[in-house]
Amino acid sequence: MQRTAPGDEVAPRAPKASRLAKEQGILTEAENHFAQFGFEGASLENIAAAAGISRHNLLYYFPSKEALYQRVLDDVLTQWLEGMEDLSHSDDPQQALRRYIRAKLHYSRTRPQGAKVFTKEVIAGAPRYGTAITERVAPLLKTEVRTFERWAREGRIAKVNFTHLMFIIWSVTQAYAEQEAQFALLLGKPALTERDYEKAEELIVRMVLSALLPDAVG
């Protein structure tokens, strides 16, 4: 039997493509079910059936409903946080905010079910994911607030409550995931179009930048 030489490390095997595809199929169906029924209402049997596998097979990939739920929320939050670091690395407040708002609306348009899972968890008081939200979101939020404060000291934007500014941006962009069906109904169409999201972006950016004009706050 061949032995590993001292100091040599055996690289871990990368998951097979077939396993990754199976996991992604399970996660997609789990996201849909958790978005519709919440954690309590969703069942592993129904998620497995929708993914075309047995409950026993699903448990091979994810050992419990809690583990599956955590993984869904981990993936959702990772995508939701995209753009926050870019905000602090920019020297152009206007362009940075425009890109950030665009990314948030893109998330709402392309992953509405994930947004709904996250919202259901938070509305319930985040009983299963509160620690992760605090550990992952709070540090980035503090970094962004410091960036806004620096821009304000430089006279590039008005000084407002930047924490609540971020809350407002999150809320209004998230609404285009959570209330997309209502918005589409009121617009007399089956679903919001890409142009609808572009119009939303234009208005949200205009509102935010207007509020941050250096002479906008006395």
Residue 7's alpha-carbon distances to 10, 41, 79, 159, in angstroms, are 10, 51, 37, 55
What angle (nearest 5°) sits at the alpha carbon of residue 161, between those of residues 214 and 114? Answer: 115
Q: How far apart are CA 105 and CA 217, in angstroms?
A: 27
Domain count along the chain: 2
For the CA atoms of 59, 65, 70, 75, the dihedral, rounded to the nearest 10 degrees, stands at 60
The number of beta carbons lying within 10 Å of the beta carbon of residue 25 is 15
Q: Residues 78-106: pLDDT tens digits?
A: 999 887 777 878 889 999 999 999 999 99
Residue 1 confidence (pLDDT) = 46
* pTM (predicted TM-score): 0.85
Helices (H) and strands (E) in the chain, counts: 11, 0
* Boundaries of domain holding 174: 75-211
Looking at the structure, tell me whether residues 184 and 85 fall in a common domain.
yes
Give mean pLDDT in consecutive 10-residue pieces for the chain, a chain of 218 residues.
Answer: 53 71 96 97 98 96 98 95 80 94 95 95 95 95 95 96 97 96 98 97 98 76
Radius of gyration of the chain (CA): 21
Looking at the structure, tell me whether residues 106 and 169 fall in a common domain.
yes
**Residue 61's CATH number:** 1.10.10.60
Residue 19 confidence (pLDDT) = 86
Q: How far apart are CA 111 and CA 101, in angstroms?
A: 15
Looking at the structure, tell me whether residues 44 and 116 fall in a common domain.
no
Kindly state the tokens that stand for 39: 């954690």
73, 95, 114 — which closes off a domain?
A: 73
Looking at the structure, tell me whether residues 128 and 40 fall in a common domain.
no
Looking at the structure, tell me whether residues 57 and 25 fall in a common domain.
yes
- Are the C-beta atoms of residues 50 and 29 closer than 8 Å to each other? yes
Looking at the structure, tell me whether residues 63 and 125 fall in a common domain.
no
Looking at the structure, tell me whether residues 88 and 164 fall in a common domain.
yes
